[in-house]
Amino acid sequence: MADKQIKKIGVLTSGGDGPGMNAAIRAVVRSAVHHGLGVTGFIRGYEGLIDDNAVELNHRSVANIIDKGGTFLKTARSPRFKEAEGQKKAVATLKKYNVDALVVIGGDGSYAGAHDLYSKWKIPTVGLPGTIDNDIYGTDQTIGCHTAVNTALEAIDKIRDTGHSMERIFVVEVMGHHSGYIALQVALGAGAEDVIIPERKFDYQKLYEGIKKGHDIGKISWIIVVAEGAGKAHQVSEKVIEITKFESRYVVLGHIQRGGSPTAPDRILATRLGAASVDCLLRGEHGRAVGVLQNKINIVELGQACTMSIVPIDEYCNLIKTLT
């Protein structure tokens, strides 16, 4: 199939949704149309491939979505697609719609699926990094992470208002099961006093000393950011009360971090990657993941696209301690 000329492509979003997925779909569809290709969208990720849930897309189908959060193609996690049975049905669906190649927008799990389709079923695929966690190999940024960070930051700015007024410690839990990316960014951007991330052990004694020292020079409020994978906000808050004897409150930002109109960097990244994925397929480069490194389009093998940490964690953590 890899040598066959591509006349029609498929596109789907998979895994957790994130802001900018719509912008990516728009770029895929319009690039494809620009190159004379047909496009089929599959609904609810790999589930739509398995269940034959599809929609034909043209230039106008993706009008007015570049600024909308979420994904109009819906998304889902698909345990069934990990089984050969599910993949077989998916391949049959692709054939039914005469789809010659597939663009998958999602995170790690979605990339694994795209890799399977390419390596086991010889379907030309390409993956785009659509996840707010910014934990994909081969790209400096993932689609959605900028918006998630900004949303969390704006929330913490609001919390800081009440923190100052009421003179309290606030523990704020942000998303990130395995990655402290969002936590680090918002902690540095919000001027938070400390950050708790999965990548490093947290020292409550040092936190206590920092709070005591700050208190002595007149500080009256503190923000401690915790990545969900490194601790639960209410437990951290209780621990903080225990060691400092100060009042503490906690907030779990939760799903607001997934939604909202994408910020400029996410729309631009999604647009560039969406167009690049179609170019990649047309050049005959299949089984690849498209990303951006140092502001240039970067293409790697899908099999390589495993998780890695890319944040300068030490520099960030040092700055947080030094500047607060």
- Nearest alpha carbon to residue 134 among 291, 267, 302: 291
Q: Where does residue 138 fall: left (phi above 0), alpha (psi -120 to 50 degrees), or beta otherwise? A: left
**Longest Cα pair distance anywhere in the chain, in angstroms?**
72
User: Using the rule CB under 8 A, which residue among 24, 25, 49, 66 binds a copy of itself?
Assistant: 66
Q: How far is the CB of 279 from a copy of itself (least distance, A)?
A: 10
CB of 282 to a copy of itself, least distance (A): 13
Q: Catalytic one among 133, 135, 194, 266?
A: 133
Q: State yes or no: residue 26 binds a copy of itself (CB under 8 A).
A: yes
Q: Which is nearer to a copy of itself, 66 or 123 (CB)?
A: 66
Binding letters toward a copy of itself, positions 138-157, x by CB under 8 A: --x-----x--xxx-x-x-x
The nearer residue to a copy of itself, 106 or 127, going by C-beta atoms, is: 106
Q: Could you give the count of Cα atoms lying within 13 Å of 258 in the half-sphere of its Cβ? A: 13
Cα separation, 138 vs 132, whole angstroms: 15
Q: Whose CA is closest to 105, among 256, 229, 278, 260? A: 278
CB of 250 to a copy of itself, least distance (A): 8
List all residues 6 or more positions away from 73 whose beta carbon is below 8 Å from its beta carbon. 11, 12, 13, 25, 41, 42, 43, 44, 48, 55
* 77-116 footprint of a copy of itself as x/- string (CB under 8 A): ----------------------------------------
User: Strand 38-42 and strand 54-57: pairing?
Assistant: antiparallel
Piece in contact with a copy of itself (CB under 8 A), picked from 2-10, 202-210, 237-245, 314-322: 314-322
**Of positions 88, 96, 254, 304, contacts a copy of itself by CB under 8 A:** 254
Question: Out of 25, 76, 175, 280, which residue is the one contacting a copy of itself (CB under 8 A)?
Answer: 76
User: Per-residue string for binding with a copy of itself, 200-219, x by CB under 8 A?
Assistant: -----------------xxx
Between 123 and 174, whose beta carbon lies closer to a copy of itself? Answer: 174
Angle, vertex CA 11, rays to CA 9 and CA 13, nearest 5: 170
What is the residue type of 10?
A: G
**Catalytic annotation present for 133:** yes
Kindly tell me which residue out of 17, 116, 194, 228 binds a copy of itself, with binding defined by CB under 8 A.
17
Contacts (Cβ under 8 Å, ≥6 apart) of 211: 169, 193, 219, 222, 244, 246
So which residues are the catalytic ones? 133
